[in-house]
Amino acid sequence: MRILITGGTGFIGYNLVPILQQEQHEIICLVRETSNLRWLNSIGHIEYRYGDLLAPESLDAALDGIECVIHMAGTVVAVHKRDFYRINHIGTRNVVEAAARKGSDLSRFIMVSSLSAAGPSKPDKPMTESMPDLPVSAYGESKLLGERAVQEHREQLRIAVVRPPIVYGPKDVGVQGFFQLVKKGWQIKFPGENPRFSMVYVKDLSRALVTLVTADYFSGSQYYISDPVTYSVPEIQDIIADVLNRNTTTIPIPKLLLYPAAAGSELVARLRNKPTFLNFDKLKEVVQPAWTCSPEKFAQDFGFHTEYGLAEGAAETVEWYQSHGWL
């Protein structure tokens, strides 16, 4: 199948493309003139088509001859909140509308969204597909709006929306800080707090996406893909410490300190016009009691089960980080 991937230059794309190629799919990546193609070039056998989610006129030609779209492009950080909505909502709307215009040749559209679109869970009750969506951040709201734009075309395209929780693995910079901190012999702990998180290793997420490329499912289906085990921050750090064979010292950090830190980080971001991970929008997510989800629906529909727990996934991630000088 000829598959167009948006957001292929990100770390999920880096891990997904080889798995799709192993299944004999032909991969085309939508990129911009300014995209860094280093990692995709290292994989090889990829066709590039140039376009921009915010330039609808560039998308029609990019979709010529495409049979399936895997839409992963978006932003998780932004200098201004409006940028979340421009990219994650309007950009997604533009690409799904272009896909719908292609008619029968292009039959499938798979959107990789986020657990943030649903909002936080209760500590003892993981999110399921039947629960209401209550995002707490601009990022989550923008992803939810993007999902809704995609769902508007479920009569024209076979639509699937995937909501992964924390995704980690080779080339990931989001969770890399935990590995670096533990390697230096430190762990962080928020006193009195023990929130739990769902996680998924990027290879398991990639396998799930490959399943959706050819599987039968009701158009408009939504799925959580995750490791069935949930983890607290201390448990995550302990597992990483075991993989790295490091003894660590725990540093208690009062959550109140995060607010002035976020304020300072946000000010610097605005002065430099460069986004940062630590900001007030992200803080709205950090202070929640749990971010967990249930993978049971996907398992029931497709007989799919993740192959990696955190220990196995962390071990492979550490090996990649070390071999590439990231750790």
Q: How many domains does the chain have?
A: 1
- Angle 18-183-321 (CA atoms, 0-180°, nearest 5)? 15
Q: Is residue 132 in a domain? A: yes
Question: Residue 127's domain is classified under what CATH number?
Answer: 3.40.50.720
Q: Return the exposure string of 8-46: e unless at least 16 CB atoms fall within 10 Å of the residue's CB, then b.
A: bbbbbbbbbbeebbeeebbbbbbbeeeeeeebbeebeeb
Whether the model clears a pTM of 0.85, i.e. scores above it, the answer is yes
Return per-residue pLDDT of the chain as tens, 327 residues.
Answer: 999 999 999 999 999 999 999 999 999 999 998 899 999 999 999 999 999 999 999 999 999 999 999 999 999 887 788 999 999 999 999 999 999 998 778 999 999 999 999 999 998 899 999 999 999 999 999 999 999 999 999 999 999 999 999 999 999 988 888 899 999 998 888 756 688 999 999 999 999 999 999 999 999 999 999 999 999 999 999 999 999 999 999 888 776 656 565 555 555 545 565 556 556 667 778 888 899 999 999 999 999 999 999 999 999 999 999 999 999
Q: Is residue 6 in a domain? A: yes
Q: Is residue 74 in a domain? A: yes
Cβ pair 14, 39 in contact under 8 A: yes
The residue segments making up the domain with residue 143 are: 2-169+200-228+291-308
Q: Is residue 296 in a domain? A: yes
The single residue listed with the structure tokens 């003139």 is 33
